[in-house]
Amino acid sequence: MEKILLIGRKDDPHIQGIGNELSKLNEPYFVLDKFTMSDTFCVEFDGKFRSYLKINDKKITNQSIKSIWNTSALRIILEEKIVRDAKEFARAEWTEGISTLWNSIDTKWINHPNSLIKAVNRLKQLDTASKVGLETPKSIVTNDAKELLDFYEQNQRNIIGKTLHSSEGLPENKMIFTNKIEKHDLERANSLKYVPVLFQEYVPKKTELRVTIIEDKFHVAEIHSQMSPKTKDDWRNYDDFKKTPYVKSRLPSEIISKLRKLMKVMDLNFGAVDLIKTPEDKIIFLEINPNGRWWWIQELTGMNISKDIATSLSNVE
């Protein structure tokens, strides 16, 4: 019997929500969140792939997996007996081994690991978005203090700084938010030598849009982030949701068309897109997160995102 694989933690509400919807569709599924040294896998290739994964003595072959939900990395629990100096090597080999297993499974992925690797770079995202016709902010990645100072002046001393890699999924008290760069911040510009930073021109906001895309389905949440000083620069700096309402919204047809092109070029079946709506109602693309979270949006807006994900996983040609 074919089963749907959900990669993620069993206590994650995203996984639970998808699982509940799959049960309503009478679709069998299993959840995989970690691989221990008592588990096994094998990939054989002789012109075609044959592979299996054995977890808790339950064997799942590549041919029995109908589709895969993959927005969380599989946790690999290394054997304690491995000496410290060998652990980095062992983890690299395990990572490559699991990648080999994933590449042996020819089915629908949401999203395939190879697509995730290609999709995460934020400046590459901006380049791709611009090429499909979306408007994007001027941006720079640097560890050079002089480049930062020049960029600050070129953009009328009105810029923001943000991480190069998404901090979504971190505990709330560990998340790193987008911050406006003030003049006093430039006194620490030389600290860039320790770690590069992404800087962008500041784009005035009327509202912000979080667009959760599952294949041809678009769930658009409009975030009234400017109603609270706490969320003015980054809506992830959550406030009382009465102060920063989330409402179901729509996008202009031309923006939907361009986002569809973006998803196709990036080979993604799922993506969480962040957009800005300016006071003049222009739509500016900020980024796309192929591992984006969405459960809290479903709860706040009533949009049944988990149902569309389950339906997509079920509909395999």
pLDDT digits (tens, 9 = 90+) for 222-273: 998 766 555 555 555 555 566 678 899 999 999 999 999 999 999 999 999 9
Domain boundary among 152, 184, 202: 202
One domain for residues 75 and 98: yes
pLDDT at 243: 67
Residues 99 and 180 in one domain: no
Instruction: Mark whether 58 and 21 lie in a shared domain.
Output: yes
Of residues 228 and 205, the one with the higher pLDDT is 205
Q: What is the pLDDT of residue 73?
A: 80
Is 193 a member of any domain? yes
More confident residue, 72 or 109: 109
pLDDT for 170 beyond 50: no
**8 Å CB contact between 91 and 76:** yes
Residue 111 has pLDDT above 90, yes or no: yes
Whether residue 111 is preceded by a cis peptide bond, meaning omega within 30 degrees of 0, is yes
Residues 292-317: b if buried by 16+ CB within 10 A, e if exposed:
bbbbebbebbebebbbbbbbbbbeee
What is the CB-side half-sphere exposure of residue 306 using CA atoms within 13 A?
22
Residue 208: pLDDT over 90: yes
Band (pLDDT 50/70/90 cuts) for residue 174 is very low
| Angstrom distance (rounded) from CA 217 to CA 214 | 5
Q: Kindly provide the b/e burial profile for residues 224-263, where b requires at least 16 CB atoms within 10 angstroms of the residue's own CB.
A: bbbebebbebbbbbeeeeeebbbeebebeeebbebbebbb
Specify the number of domains making up the chain. Answer: 3
Average pLDDT, stretch 72-95? 85
Q: Are residues 230 and 315 in the same domain?
A: yes
Domain around 236: 120-134+204-317
- Inside any domain, residue 235: yes
Specify whether 127 is located in the same domain as 184. no
Looking at 154, 183, 202, the residue that finishes a domain is: 202
The span from the CA of 269 to the CA of 69, in Å, is 10
Mean of per-residue pLDDT scores for the chain: 89
